[in-house]
Amino acid sequence: MRKKMPVIFMFLTMVLILAACGTSQKKEDEASTNQKTEAPKTEQKEGAKQVAVTNFPQLSKEVADNEKLVEMETSMGTIKIKLFPEYAPKAVKNFVKHSQEGYYDGLIFHRVIKDFMIQGGDPNGNGTGGESIWKTPFEDEFSEHLYNLRGALSMANSGANTNGSQFFIVQKTSLDPAMKEEMEKAGYPKEIIEAYDKNGGTPWLDHRHTVFGQVIEGMDIVDKIADTKVDAKDKPEKDVVIKGIKVLK
């Protein structure tokens, strides 16, 4: 079930994003071929309360009992990612089953934008295909515990509740100071602001793309993939292949 967005996360109009990050941000504001580029509007719901959250599993590299662990072998190296079924059960189940059944084996990272993200999971290899294990799109699973920090594994989509098989890993290494100021104004948790500020990430994608995992080993491989030469459509000129994804836990 899709969770309601807490007031503390409703932020960043398009004007603020463009002012903070420049017009080049428009390209980065997409995480799938048809992703809309408008940012979430700042709203104030009457009677809404801020939620105090202390559990941010992405900030630890340890794999908790209630988390899962997968190993993604690519043609450029191996990436280990922990998954969060407690907060994004459908996204995790979808990814794990696809992985176990070999759905992702041999697929490429079809869209790579340096200092933004690397995207894969499309059997068509161009961002137009893929489906969930249920054969139909499934709903977004947003959580106040998970964010699009550097290293986050998130669902790509073409709008609200259109999740299928495509995913991306956030690779952005920095945070614009103006963006940090906007998060502070919006009431983001201190720990998350610090994590964004220290390591980077894409906060404008929060509550627009379901976060369901976090890289705990192999960010150097993610960076290496992001640094590969691409064509005019952001597709690597030399295929970067997902050889397979093993479920370790």
Is the confidence at residue 83, as pLDDT, over 90? yes
DSSP 230: B
Across the chain, mean pLDDT equals 85
Model confidence at 46, in pLDDT bands (50, 70, 90)? very low
Q: How many secondary structure helices (H) and strands (E) does the chain include?
A: 6, 8
Instruction: Give me the residue spans of the domains in the chain.
Output: 9-36+64-247
3-class DSSP state of 185: helix
Instruction: Give buried/exposed letters for 174-196 (b at 16+ CB in 10 A, else e).
Output: ebeeebbebbeebebbeebbebb
pLDDT band at 13 (very low <50, low <70, confident <90, very high): very low
31 has a pLDDT exceeding 90: no
CB atoms within 10 A of CB 160: 12
Residue 20's pLDDT is 40
What is the pLDDT at residue 37?
27
| Residue 242 CA to its chain's centroid (Å) | 17
Give residue 91's pLDDT. Answer: 98
Confidence of residue 42 (pLDDT cuts 50, 70, 90): very low
pLDDT confidence tier of residue 103, bands split at 50, 70 and 90? very high
Looking at residue 24, what is its pLDDT?
A: 42
pLDDT digits (tens, 9 = 90+) for 138-176: 999 999 999 999 999 999 999 999 999 999 999 999 999
- Span 121-127, average pLDDT: 97
Please give the CATH superfamily to which domain 9-36+64-247 belongs.
Cyclophilin-like (2.40.100.10)
pLDDT digits (tens, 9 = 90+) for 190-231: 999 999 999 999 999 999 999 999 999 999 999 999 999 999
Question: Looking at residues 229-248, what average pLDDT do you find?
Answer: 98
| DSSP letter (8 states) at residue 133 | T
Question: Token pair for residue 89?
Answer: 């059960």
Residue with the two structure tokens 């290293």? 151
Catalytically annotated residues: 111, 116, 119, 157, 168, 205, 209
Portion of the chain with pLDDT greater than 70, in percent: 78
Q: What is the mean pLDDT of residues 92-121?
A: 98
Q: What integer pLDDT is reported at residue 164 of this predicted model?
A: 98
